[in-house]
Amino acid sequence: MKSVELVNVSFTYPNGFKAVENVSMVINKGENVAIIGQNGAGKTTTVKMMNGLLRPTEGAIFINEENTKSFTTAQISKKVGYVFQNPGDQLFNKTVYDEIAFALRANKVGEKEIEKRVTEAAELCHVREFLDHNPYDLPFSLRKFVTIAIVVANNCDILVLDEPTAGQDLLEKNGWRKLLKNLIQMVKLLLP
């Protein structure tokens, strides 16, 4: 089953810069895919279109075989979790707990379930001991893990990580490797 399909997708910014041109790809359920290219090649623009943060100026994007054109960004983000390259673009609450719980509360998930999901996601992402800390008091690398915990807690079908190892040293990259391995295993367990 196709999870994500881009069909002749292009995106032009309002200033006329064409960042993505005629991209087509299929990502099937259970696949792990890396989009690699030079800076400025359109990678971030492409993945932001998968999440609905940007809309294609041409072509179509399908998530679970449904055209994203007929959905709001909020509806798409329930299916496609997006972790920004810079966690500062994604974090705004006073505690790590509230960051991870924010979307769950917005979606009216019960507090008992929120506590369970926040705790599990924080544990998986190695930020449980920081739940009562302000995310901006944490180093950059831990803030990245907080943003992943946000997406994990929301049980999205698709997880998009934009430049996940940017700004990480070797030890932190090894932590990323372990986390990604755990996420892949978790997704495989959830697949029917």
* pLDDT (tens place) for every residue of the chain, 192 residues total: 568 999 999 999 999 999 999 999 999 887 778 788 888 889 899 999 999 999 999 999 999 899 999 999 989 988 888 888 888 888 999 999 999 999 999 989 999 999 999 999 999 888 999 999 999 999 888 898 899 899 889 988 888 888 765 655 545 556 666 666 666 555 443 333
Residue found by looking up tokens 């292009």 in the block: 10
Taking the C-alpha atoms of residue 11 and residue 25, their distance in angstroms, rounded to an integer, is 15
DSSP category for residue 131: T
Taking the C-alpha atoms of residue 22 and residue 59, their distance in angstroms, rounded to an integer, is 8
Amino acid letter for position 58? E
First-last CA distance in the chain: 11
For residue range 76-132, list pLDDT tens digits in order: 988 888 888 888 888 999 999 999 999 999 989 999 999 999 999 999 888 999 999
Taking the C-alpha atoms of residue 187 and residue 20, their distance in angstroms, rounded to an integer, is 29
Q: Look up the CATH number of domain 78-192.
A: 3.40.50.300
Which segments within the chain are labelled E, that is strand? 2-12, 18-28, 58-63, 66-67, 80-83, 158-161
Q: Do domains 1-72 and 78-192 have the same CATH topology?
A: yes
Domain 1-72, CATH 3.40.50.300 — does that match? yes
Domain parsing of the chain, residue ranges: 1-72, 78-192
Amino acid letter for position 104? L
Residue found by looking up tokens 């990604």 in the block: 180
Q: In the prediction, which pLDDT does 191 show?
A: 35
Q: In the prediction, which pLDDT does 172 show?
A: 56
